[in-house]
Chain A
Amino acid sequence: MKLQKATEFALYAVLELAADPSRQLTAVEIAEKYGISSHHLAKVLRDLGRAGLVDAVRGVGGGYRFAGNAKRLTLMDVIRLFEDAGSESEDAAPRPPGEDIAEGLRFVLAEIDAQTGATLCSISLSTMLKLVARRPWTAAAETRPARRAARRAR
């Protein structure tokens, strides 16, 4: 699944704000942290506000605050606000009968999409923030050279 920029920005913003629900941040502050366009992010934050995931705090010192339930809200819940998730195969143009190879390939790609969807539905914002704090990718990077060496030795 390739995410659009707006979806990616929404995930950054929601996770950043959910990490500390008492804190309010402006679009500029979040955009600077992630090196993204504050103009584009402001639009995304308005969409997140309409969906009830963030509250806009007006006036001097205003900004946005997380307004959802981080234990219940999943990555897929955020993605679905910006992407037509799961509709790729339905939208595909009808194919003439007999295109078995094309059908077969779509069948295999649908398997991958189903796996991706299940993964995104299973990770709540709270779980994602715990994962970020744990940084499992550093351990994976450390064991990768050892695994490669073991494979070469076989």
Chain B
Amino acid sequence: MAKTVRIGGEEEIGIRPATPADVPGVIALDQEVTGLLKAEYWRDMFDRYGARGDDSRFFLVAGAPTRIDGFIVGEVRAWEFGSSPSGWIFAVQVRARLRVQGLGSRLFEAVAARFRAAGVDRIRTMVARDNTVIHSFFRSQGMMAGPFIELEMRLD
């Protein structure tokens, strides 16, 4: 059942697992926030994380299919370079005008509850160093630097 959240004392926004009808709304919200249209990416993400009914992969949305106000995607990952099973969040988005009102926190809590039910006791993620909005959001949820370091190199 969808969990409802009252935002700004006027709207009630439900949090629930995504359905195929939500995908266009997710694509639109992501495009609104990032300025990039990634339709194929989000359809693939839904197929892999939302459509399978898997109890270790979660694609949650906030809002009605006609207007998605936020979403969060995560899965339980294990044993990457010795990392014990943990909940990995790799996408979170909230409509700009609804930020800092608790919707992102409720999405985070909803996916955290599912991770707990899946048997893991910690959450991990990776954010761009210059993405202060998302970085601050995860910090506000209580996340700290973990024991892993992200590395990369150019393949010239």
Contact = CB atoms under 8 A, between A and B. Distances in A.
A134 to B, nearest CB: 7
Contacts of A121: 132, 135-136
A71 B99 CA distance: 12
Contact of B139 (A114, A123, A134): A123
A124 B130 contact: no
B144 interface: yes
B129 A127 contact: no
A71 B140 CA distance: 9
B144 A127 contact: no
A70 B107 CA distance: 22
B136 A114 contact: no
A106 to B, nearest CB: 18
Chain A interface SS verdict (over half): helix
A136 B140 contact: no
Nearest to B147: A147
Contacts of A134: 142
B145 A127 contact: no
A104 to B, nearest CB: 15
Nearest to A69: B100
Contacts of B145: 119
Contacts of A115: 129
Nearest to A121: B132
Interface in B105-156: 129-130, 132, 135-136, 138-140, 142, 144-145
B75 to A, nearest CB: 24
B139 A122 contact: yes
A118 interface: yes
User: Which of B100, B135, B136, B142 has the most chain A CB atoms inside 10 A of its CB?
Assistant: B136
Contacts of A136: 142, 144
B22 to A, nearest CB: 29
Contacts of B135: 118, 121-122
A118 B140 contact: no
A118 B144 contact: no
Contacts of A26: none
A122 B129 CA distance: 9
Interface in A90-141: 114-115, 118-119, 121-124, 126-127, 130-131, 134, 136
11 contacts: A115-B129, A118-B132, A119-B145, A121-B132, A121-B135, A122-B132, A124-B140, A126-B140, A127-B139, A127-B140, A130-B142
Interface of B: 100, 129-130, 132, 135-136, 138-140, 142, 144-145
The 4 closest A-B pairs by CB, nearest first: A122-B135, A118-B129, A127-B140, A122-B136
